[in-house]
Amino acid sequence: MIDIQKIRAEFPILKEQVNGKPLVYFDNAATSQKPQVVIDAIVDYYSKINANIHRGVHTLSQVATDAYEEARIKLQKHFNAKKSYEIILTAGTTHSINIVATGFTSLLKKGDEIIVSALEHHSNIVPWQMLCERTGAILKVIPMSTSGELKMDVYEELLSEKTKLVFSNHISNALGTINPIKEIIDKAHAVGAAVLIDGAQACPHIKPDVQELDVDFYVASAHKLCGPTGVGILYGKEEWLNKLPPYQGGGEMIETVTFEKTTYAGLPHKFEAGTPNIAGGIAFGVAIDYMNSVGFENIAAYEDELLVYGTEKLLEIEGLKIYGTAEKKAAVISFNLEGIHPFDVGSILDKLGVAVRTGHHCAQPIMDFYKIPGTVRASFAFYNTKEEIDVLVAGVKRAQMMLS
């Protein structure tokens, strides 16, 4: 069970007013808010232990290194990775995807095929297009249905010996669809292809088990699950991380350097060149602890209640259409009012203190599919309430009155 009053009290921003109205924050799919423990972790780090890691012999450097490596262990346990060095700390999902996409340049040849889902975020499309340009590989797309679900029968037809890589998000940020990733992974493995799953949108709602999924790469950003911006993870199976070349050269990622030849450090340091976001990494670990203390089962059940309630209330509005009606769906509602531009709805909601996202949500191909310029997207988190949904619904009604 979620003790909503207790949880809300832990997020200082929820007491803020925006445009003279209490903040109703429904842009959680873009970034989540931060509980006090995460904010404290960042302040404490800079106030008490700030030092560079993995280098100094002095005490603070060792304390900082221990705290940073402890965060890695927390992440290893959370995602159930076999080894802690299979967890690479990165700047976030986009960075993680680019490490893999760039690394595959030397592993692909002309005519090889890469499959991506039609539900992708731009950060999961563009790096693969760039990879295809570099290698002559061909990009294929798993199409989607009007409900926002992937056509798995077409996926099966696309798979062949030529398929080297498959990419899908775990949950679509634009529509909320929960994709059948276990099936995607197993079918790809049957033809010998590797799979990368973008978990940026899934990790705030569910706890993935990378060994059970048998996934080759899994990526996520801390800021979507109550952690700070600018830090994330790349989980990779040890054998894959060993096959991939380093992404960036620099300090920390080397074993020995001479002007003739440099040898690279082992995992995870091979992929962690330069001074990382140390405070961010530590706070990421704290955010994971916090989310686990609330409990992912509780979070999922409560958010599902919000989703059902919000869907029902919004659909009572005449002329409102919801995009993305998959059977398995996370707490994201993408919608439009007939004849009204989503941006105008979003602007009126903002004046009422309600934060939603409007636009294409970094997923233009999905908007093209529905032939719309964008949607209004309300995405819920476990610290939101039904009362806040009522404020949203009243605001949407008001926008409709003012704009039609």
Ligand X SMILES: *Cc1c(COP(=O)(O)O)cnc(C)c1O
* Structural contact between residues 402 and 348, judged by C-beta atoms closer than 8 angstroms: yes
Query: Coil, strand or helix: which one is 306?
Result: helix
Cβ closest to ligand X, residue 76 vs residue 201: 201
Comparison of 135 and 221: residue with beta carbon closer to ligand X: 221
Give the closest residue to 166 by CA, choosing from 148, 142, 150, 132: 142
Min separation Cβ 136 and ligand X, Å? 26
Sheet with 320-323, side-by-side order of all strands: 320-323, 332-337, 375-379, 357-359
Name beta bridge partners: 16. Answer: none
| Nearest approach, Cβ of residue 222 and ligand X (Å) | 8
Q: With left for phi above 0 and alpha for psi between -120 and 50, is residue 138 left, alpha or beta?
A: beta
| E strands in 23-152 | 24-25, 87-90, 113-117, 138-142
Closest separation in Å from C-beta 399 to ligand X? 25
Burial of residue 334 (number of CB atoms within 10 Å: 0-12, 13-18, 19+): buried
Q: Work out whether the CA dihedral 333, 339, 342, 346 comes out positive or negative.
A: negative
Least distance in Å: CB of 329 to ligand X? 14
Which residue's CB is nearer to ligand X, number 76 or number 123? 123
The contacts of residue 108 (CB under 8 Å, 6+ apart) are 114, 131, 135, 137, 164, 165
> Are 128 and 157 within 8 A, CB to CB?
no
Among residues 132, 203, 226, 362, which one is catalytic? Answer: 362
Residues near ligand X (CB under 6 A): 92-94, 121, 123-124, 169, 173, 198, 200-201, 221, 223-224
In the complex with ligand X, the residue whose CB is nearer, 33 or 221, is: 221
Rank residues 22 and 230 by Cβ distance to ligand X and give the closer one.
230
Q: Tell me if residue 132 is catalytic.
A: no
**Shortest reach from residue 134's CB to ligand X, in Å:** 21
Per DSSP, the three-state class of 342 is: helix
Catalytic residues: 362
